[in-house]
Structure 1
Amino acid sequence: MDGSITCSSSDLALFSSSNTTALASFLCSRFSTISNTFSDASYAINNTYLLFSAYLVFAMQLGFAMLCAGSVRAKNTMNIMLTNVLDAAAGGLSYYLFGYAFAFGSPSNGFIGRHFFGLRDFPSPSADYSFFLYQWAFAIAAAGITSGSIAERTQFVAYLIYSSFLTGFVYPIVSHWFWSGDGWASATRSENLLFGSGVIDFAGSGVVHMVGGIAGLWGALIEGPRIGRFDQTGRSVALRGHSASLVVLGSFLLWFGWYGFNPGSFLTIMKGYGGGGTYYGQWTAIGRTAVTTTLAGSTAALTTLFSKRLLVGHWNVVDVCNGLLGGFAAITSGCSVVEPWAAIICGFVAAWVLIGCNMLASKLKYDDPLEAAQLHGGCGAWGLLFTGLFATKAYVNEVYPGLPERPYGLLMGGGGKLLAAQIIQILVILGWVTATMGPLFYVLQKMRLLRISTEDETAGMDLTRHGGFAYAYHDEDDLSLKPDFMMRKVKPTNQTPILSGEGSPPSHVQV
């Protein structure tokens, strides 16, 4: 290790008893070396923790991709997979050029950052490259949410435009407001806190999930529902995704990544609370945050399971996965400042919020293939309210130190100031995203750049826009088969149902 230290009695023997100044200088130099070594180790440990968390959050992109692929019909699989790849790629460049500067370019005003464009003069005393990577992973997560709402009917060029705009401008402004030390509603401001508290949105129920969900809401509203989603009488027709297996795989990958999303938002791990040398410190808070995240998601999944069984009469794994993710989206705001038992309440209510939003969407003839606006927008808003109700005094003071009388949860005896700040956040996010993404989608629609043609939508975008299907339905070397064989259904010639244990399946099939 650089700065290694050796010390022996012969070193001290060089100094006479009268030469105390030289002896003191010698000892101080050794202590300085020790201090610098520990300081370097602390930076290395904290940056390694943040980088590992960034990798986990980025792995959520794979989860999004699998979830989206399983939730759409097979004829649009290539399209939705490509959009997920480009959310990360286009988002990487736009966040590098503009997004990070708008979000964390301090010193700045309360509305928008103004330094570090293209990472100029970076790293700085306030942030290193690991922090940029972590925040970029969050930005592309918001774009991924939006892509699910407008799946199966959106032109490819529209994805590139909205994804770059969302990650380079819309999302960074919101993250500056609530996460930057200069943001007008940030809980980390040194003075003039909103309602004496600031907004507590620890890992982004509002900043990430509501932004992505509201953006997707406007995109889906302006485009309109998919062909066949509602019949001529207005009744809802289920256009089921083609692979529940991919939905489950994506959900577990997102669950795994959420342990970087929520606990990773502490940014550092090597920090004690109170006196030194105790077992209790920020590492404990990180573990507690992982526990509250787990409990909220698990409770939401089970609540959805039994609720949907009562409502529709069967057990549906896709609904359970969406409920699970709704619980995660809700707990993301208050995961670090609530007790584990409160996380169970959060997940229980989140499941019903999602069910209610889906019922409302069906009545309003709103079509969102992944329930993204309902899940991330609705459950994200509930998560902000939940934090205003259940944040505990001790945990708020640990996570946001320096203000002993900071307001906390209303139901925990902390008054209503924090809840008021959370409500303000919901309103300003709704207003900001509506004012920016709504006009963008509207202009794209007027320019005929948003929705694909009826013919292309019916045939599927994989065939009409991406050169072929995601799955090989036959041997490509067998030229005797017609290309359109790939999407035909195989049906038995004998339509008589076969009872269990009776008869045998028909020996011929027709194409």
Structure 2
Amino acid sequence: MEILTINNVWMMICTALVFFMHLGFSFLEIGLTRQKNTINILFKNLFIICIGLLLYCLIGFNLMYPGFEADGLGILKFAGFGLDSPMTTEGLLDLSYNSGYTFWTDFLFQGMFAATAATIVSGAVAERIKLGSFMLFTILYIGIVYPIVGSWQWGGGFLSTLEIGKATGFHDFAGSTLVHSVGGWAALIAVYFLGSRLGKFSENGHPQVIPGHNIPMASAGVLILWLGWFGFNGGSVLSADPAATSLTLVTTSLAAAAGGVTAFIFSTLLYKNYDITMFLNGILGGLVAITAGADQMSPTDAILIGLLAGIVIVLGIKLVDKLQLDDPVGAIAVHLICGIWGTLAVGIFGNKAGIDQLAIQGISVLLIGVFCILFSLLFLGAIKFTLGLRVSEKEEIDGLDSHEHGMEAYSDFRTNQH
């Protein structure tokens, strides 16, 4: 009982840290975009966490952890609508649910992860998507796609038992692919459907800088996210085991630090200036990359993964611009590209390293990518041809705050200027 209580308290702390990450995502997205869209961004991020928890309660949790048929093919067996509370006949919580923590803690921790996937999309589509269309896509993606993909691995589905050679089981400790790339694939398709913001690309296709209005806020957002990642990865140990938890927090921090340093050095060599936004995204890229294998990497492995993630970030952002895809916050490079890199790194570093494990990692990334792309195309395509995805040119120029919300984020500040 004492051990369960300690584990449960740690898991609740981690749940709170992952919840706190949503403030970090909000700050980062606000800081890297323009003042005239601040309320719109806050509204989207508040909606994501609220609807994410509700959907995960009613559908997602049971869809993600349904129990599978014994044929090993990973056929979904949906466990029902809404949470089925494990209560004893005396009305007390059944503590035999899990040796590490209670049923309620499990639900809430996993629910925070579900909302994160949609938050990734929010940054990529900022400043030009219709709010109603975004909310509808969020409902569909969190409600259906995220829990099904999660069930393939964390729910005991076919990826968890996939065998190639001597290796068995896809390994994604805390979601480089199952959370970050799932959000990243949706972001990629959404950005493609939406098109770029007005003025982002010149007539000859060269990317133009559209500066964010509050870089200090963006920096605060990244530091909050780094802190929140202690819960994201630390909680994925699923207990308060001191050795496993401590190692996970060390590898997480070292990869983040290495990603930031490499990104700013590499971008400085390329562009001849110290770009803090590259520094910030390098930190995030290191965090995303280590998430798949944070439980099994040595400190030097984590540094190497982060170092390469920093380079991947700079090249990834350059590639996204080259393709004339407009991603205001760099979400595609951070969450999709670095998520793929971190997932593959499990087969290169750590105690699962080997060509067979690398093959499992690669095949799993491919299958999940195809699934997410197909459903993103279906959902976004249907929304585009019915409700429409993009706001009018006038709304984009004036800002979404005034048109969709009828208010300004800094109205008092602007009124008091002389």
TM-score tier by shorter-chain length is over 0.9
Answer with 340-349 or 442-451: which moved more: 442-451
Asked whether the equivalents of residues 47 and 135 of structure 2 are also in contact (C-alpha less than 8 Å), the reply is yes
Q: Does 1:151 align with 2:133?
A: no
2:265 corresponds to 1:321: no
In structure 2, which of residues 24, 29, 48 is the aligned counterpart of residue 87 of structure 1? 48
1:466 aligns with 2:405: yes
Match of 2:158 among 175, 184, 187: 184
Q: Aligned equivalents of 2:41 and 2:328: distance in 1?
A: 11
Q: Matches of 1:114 and 1:52 in 2, distance apart?
A: 30
Post-superposition offset of 1:449? 2.8
Q: Summarize the Cα distance change of 1:104–1:237 in structure 2 as closer, same or farther, 3 Å threshold.
A: same
Residue from 112, 118, 139 that aligns with 2:82: 118
Q: What are structure 1's unaligned runs of at least 5 residues? A: 1-39, 270-281, 393-407, 411-415, 479-485, 487-508
Hey, which bits of structure 1, 4+ residues long, moved more than 3 A? 121-124, 192-196, 473-476
Match of 2:109 among 134, 137, 141: 134
Q: 1:438: which partner in 2?
A: 377
Q: In 1, are the aligned partners of 2:15 and 2:108 still within 8 Å (CA)?
A: yes
Counterpart-to-counterpart distance in 1, 2:413 and 2:120: 34
In structure 1, how many angstroms separate the alpha carbons of the residues matched to 2:255 and 2:128? 33
With normalisation by structure 2, the TM-score equals 0.93
1 or 2 for the larger relative contact order (CA 8 Å, sep ≥6)?
2
> 1:162, 1:111 → 2: CA distance?
25
**1:405-426 Cα deviation digits (max 9, x unpaired):** xxx202xxxxx22111100111
- Letter aligned with residue 177 of structure 1: W
Q: Deviations over 1:246-272 (max 9, x none)?
A: 110100000000000111101112xxx
Q: Which among 34, 37, 43 is matched to residue 76 of structure 1?
A: 37
Question: 2:313 maps to what in 1?
Answer: 354
- Cα offset, 1:111, TM superposition: 4.1
Relative to structure 1, the CA distance from residue 45 to residue 117 in structure 2 (aligned partners, 3 Å threshold; closer, same or farther) is: farther
Cα–Cα, structure 1 residues 78 and 305, in superposed 2: closer, same or farther, change >3 Å?
same
Residue 121 of structure 1 deviates from its aligned partner by 4.2
Q: Is the 8 A contact 1:116 1:122 kept in 2?
A: no
Shift of 1:185: 1.0
Q: Are 2:211 and 1:290 equivalent residues in the alignment?
A: no
Taking structure 1 as reference, are residues 120 and 441 closer, same or farther at Cα in structure 2, changes over 3 Å only? same
SS of the aligned residue for 1:117 comes to coil
In the TM superposition, 1:246-261 aligns within 5 A as 246-261=217-232
**C-alpha separation between the residues in 1 aligned to 2:84 and 2:19?**
24
Counterpart for residue 396 of structure 1: none
Q: Which amino acid aligns with 1:368?
A: D
> Does 2:20 align with 1:45?
no
**Counterparts of 2:238 and 2:413, CA distance in 1:** 50
List per-residue Cα deviations over 1:150-191 (Å, max 9, x = no partner). Answer: 1100111112111111211101011111112x31111xx5xx
How many angstroms apart in 2 are the aligned matches of 1:114 and 1:137? 21
Provide the aligned C-alpha RMSD in A. Answer: 1.8
TM (norm. structure 1) is 0.76
Cα separation, 2, equivalents of 1:111 and 1:378: 29
Question: Which runs of 5 or more residues in structure 2 are unaligned?
Answer: 88-93
Letter paired with 1:45: I
In 2, distance between residues paired with 1:315 and 1:359? 16
Check 1:232–1:51 CA distance in 2 against 1; reply closer, same or farther (3 A cut): same
- Distance, in Å, in 2 between the alignment partners of 1:474 and 1:230 is 31
Q: Given the alignment, which residue of 129, 149, 152 partners 1:174? A: 149
Report the more deviating stretch, 226-235 or 215-224.
Answer: 226-235
What is the CA distance between 1:216 and its match in structure 2?
0.5
Structure 1 residues 261 and 108, CA gap change in structure 2 (3 angstroms): farther
Write out aligned runs for 1:85-484 (5 A): 85-106=46-67, 110-122=74-86, 125-126=97-98, 128-180=103-155, 182-186=156-160, 193=163, 196-269=167-240, 282-392=241-351, 408-410=352-354, 416-472=355-411
* Secondary structure at the counterpart of residue 119 of structure 1: coil
For residues 479-490 of structure 1, the aligned pairs below 5 Å read none
